[in-house]
């Protein structure tokens, strides 16, 4: 405290001769030097805090690791060729006079892994849809999970007609009672085993008549 008081006294201009310009200039330089010292101290303190925060961030960093594997699934078809697409042009949008993708005869073997590449808008999806259509020319099983989501009334009615007229088997997951009644003759209803689904699981109850 005494040293601080003496330092403040040395920096004070009280008691100086008004005409003693040299003394006043020295005190002014001392005051400026003191301010510079405080600024330097604040800057040093701030740098130390920033360094400390950076060290804490580095210490809390967790390296991402992607060492998980997707379980294998599927099986190889007994057929040597899964799909065959005849030579021709697959029209954009299915419009007869529109341009399209001209392709030679294409086939997909039972274990082939084929990449379809090209710029956006070239017709990759058009070609893939044609391949899927060739595979599903005569499907025997149709599985749909909530197909009425985001459909308008006319689309739902068209879906009802499609499902009711489909000659093969259908498995439909839906909350739409109208679609269920118009499309299905059997019900596999999941009910809680006891209590609720989350604690006891579910049991399947089969009904032949749709309510």
Can you say how many angstroms the Cα of residue 28 is from the centroid of all Cα atoms in its chain?
64
Fold (CATH) for 139-211: Rossmann fold (3.40.50)
Q: Assess whether pLDDT exceeds 60 at residue 186.
A: yes
Tens digit of each residue's pLDDT (9 = 90 or more) over 68-124: 555 666 778 888 888 888 888 888 888 888 888 888 888 888 888 888 877 788 888
Decide if 100 contacts 89 (C-beta within 8 A): yes
pTM above 0.75, yes or no: no
User: C-alpha angle 154/184/190, rounded to 5°?
Assistant: 110
Confidence of residue 62 (pLDDT cuts 50, 70, 90): low
Instruction: Sketch the domain layout of the chain as residue ranges.
Output: 2-60, 76-137, 139-211
Q: Take residue 4 and report the two structure tokens written for it.
A: 């601080």
Contacts of 151 (CB under 8 A, 6+ apart): 159
């Amino acid at each position: 405290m005494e040293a601080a008081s003496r330092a403040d006294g040395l920096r004070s201009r009280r008691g100086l001769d008004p005409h003693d310009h040299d003394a006043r200039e020295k005190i002014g330089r001392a005051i400026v030097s003191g301010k510079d010292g405080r600024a330097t101290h604040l800057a040093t303190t701030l740098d130390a805090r920033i360094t400390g925060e950076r060290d804490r961030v580095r210490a809390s960093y967790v390296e991402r690791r992607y060492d998980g594997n997707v379980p294998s699934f599927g099986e190889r078809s007994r057929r040597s060729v899964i799909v065959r697409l005849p030579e021709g042009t697959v029209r954009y949008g299915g419009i007869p006079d529109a341009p399209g993708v001209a392709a030679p005869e294409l086939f997909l073997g039972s274990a082939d892994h084929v990449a379809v590449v090209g710029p956006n808008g070239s017709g990759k999806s058009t070609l893939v849809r044609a391949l899927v259509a060739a595979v599903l020319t005569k499907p025997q099983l149709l599985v749909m999970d909530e197909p009425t989501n985001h459909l308008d009334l006319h689309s739902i009615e068209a879906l009802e007609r499609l499902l009711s007229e489909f000659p093969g088997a259908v498995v439909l997951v839906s909350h739409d009672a109208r679609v269920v009644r118009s499309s299905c003759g059997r019900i596999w209803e999941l009910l809680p085993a006891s209590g609720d689904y989350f604690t006891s699981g579910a049991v399947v109850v089969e009904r032949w008549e749709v309510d």
